[in-house]
């Protein structure tokens, strides 16, 4: 077997072990109020990081381009309390228009 297959098998075993350990944690630790508050914030932080990376990077460099305008329009639509589909359409349309014309 090549080194790639050993890496795949090792990574799979590590992922399984982490998931198994996560399921083995006693309920009294998970029901602690601090853990409950932290667990609510994790998806928000991960999604924010994903949006920032996808908007402001181009491979390995920082870039400000049409995606930043789309994010700006999405934020404006959110401030104006637009429904989520409208937010997505505003972001996509403004980004596409800037990309097409410039």
Segment 87-99, tens digit of pLDDT: 999 999 999 999 9
Please, what sign has the CA dihedral across residues 73, 59, 45, 7? Answer: positive
CB 98 within 8 A of CB 64: no
- C-alpha 88/C-alpha 98 separation (Å) is 16
Q: Contact at 8 Å (CB) between 51 and 71?
A: yes
Inter-residue contact 38 to 45 (CB < 8 Å):
no
Model-level pTM greater than 0.85?
Answer: no
DSSP label at residue 59: T
The pLDDT of residue 67 is above 90: yes
Nearest to 67 by CA among 52, 85, 83: 52
pLDDT confidence of 17, banded at 50, 70, 90? very high
Average pLDDT on 56-85 reads 95
- What is the structure's pLDDT at 15? 97
Confidence of residue 79 (pLDDT cuts 50, 70, 90): very high
């Amino acid at each position: 077997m090549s080194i790639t297959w050993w890496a795949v098998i090792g990574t799979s075993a590590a992922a399984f072990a982490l998931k198994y350990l996560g399921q083995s944690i006693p309920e009294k630790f998970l029901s602690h109020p601090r853990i409950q508050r932290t667990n609510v914030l994790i998806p928000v932080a991960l999604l924010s990081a994903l949006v920032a990376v996808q908007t402001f990077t181009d491979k390995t460099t920082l870039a400000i381009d049409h995606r930043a305008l789309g994010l700006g329009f999405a934020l404006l639509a959110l401030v104006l309390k637009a429904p989520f589909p409208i937010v997505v359409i505003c972001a996509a349309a403004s980004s596409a228009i800037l990309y097409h014309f410039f």
